[in-house]
Copies of this chain bind each other. A is one copy, B any other.
Amino acid sequence: MKEYNHPAVRYFQEVSAQCIHYLSIDGVIFGFHQNQLKVLLLRWKETDAWSLPGGFIRKLESVDDAAQRIVRERTGLDALYLQQFHVFGQTVRYDQDATWRTINLPLEGIQWSERTISIGYYALVEYSKVVPTPDLLTDECRWWNLEELPTLLFDHNHIIAVALASLRKNLDDQPINHLLPETFTIPELQRLCETILGHALDGRNFYKKVMASGRLERLAERRQGTPHKAPFLYRFLPSGQQVE
């Protein structure tokens, strides 16, 4: 094998030596800001082509640890809430030739597997804490509104759709507080749930349901600076604790 100096080539050589072949992780990193559900995407070097963050599993690294590492490197955040949601295992997941032409990397001579099985994880993160950070293969890392996604590389539009469906289905079990700042108002929480579900919720029923869960605590402070009567702030109790 020839030695190349291109950083992408060195990256793939390292991956080929240290990581499990045929297997990857793709990370759907959800954030919530200004009443919009967002995902973190990467723009590949010298292209207008975007993809999800992803990476490979080291031979002696747990799959969960690999997912944490991959998401940490793109967000700067540690010990994130991650949920495995699906394995994408088709033999032909996307048009490989067209994709490699688009991202245009000098990878001749690199040993690479014929297909990649991808384990999908989604992360729920607090938007304001993330420092979007591109990787070796990309020029830019930024949030996109879920409703305004471009056509992504690989099968990543499909992967996001499956992640969102999984989050929707399990909304009641998922710690969506990770998507919010420490304190928030009930209308803000409702808007988050509506954004995930893709439809409006009845305010009175929503209030009853979240209060009945026993997981919220009302604080003494109120949100200032809103045009309406200042609403109370709430926080989620640490898991395990419940309001009596």
Contact = CB atoms under 8 A, between A and B. Distances in A.
Helix, strand, loop or mixed for chain A's interface?
Answer: loop
Contacts of A117: 20, 23, 57, 63
Interface string A72-91: 00000000000010110111
A62 B87 contact: no
Given A21-B20, A23-B22, A23-B23, A62 B84 contact: no
B84 A84 contact: no
A89 B64 contact: yes
A114 interface: yes
A142 interface: no
A61 interface: yes
Contacts of A61: 91
A20 B115 CA distance: 10
A199 to B, nearest CB: 19
Nearest to A89: B63
B22 A60 contact: no
A129 interface: no
29 contacts: A20-B21, A20-B117, A21-B21, A21-B22, A22-B23, A22-B59, A23-B117, A57-B89, A59-B113, A59-B114, A59-B115, A60-B91, A60-B114, A60-B115, A61-B91, A62-B89, A62-B90, A62-B91, A63-B87, A63-B90, A63-B117, A64-B89, A64-B90, A66-B89, A84-B86, A84-B87, A87-B87, A87-B119, A89-B119
Interface of A: 20-23, 57, 59-64, 66, 84, 86-87, 89-91, 113-115, 117, 119
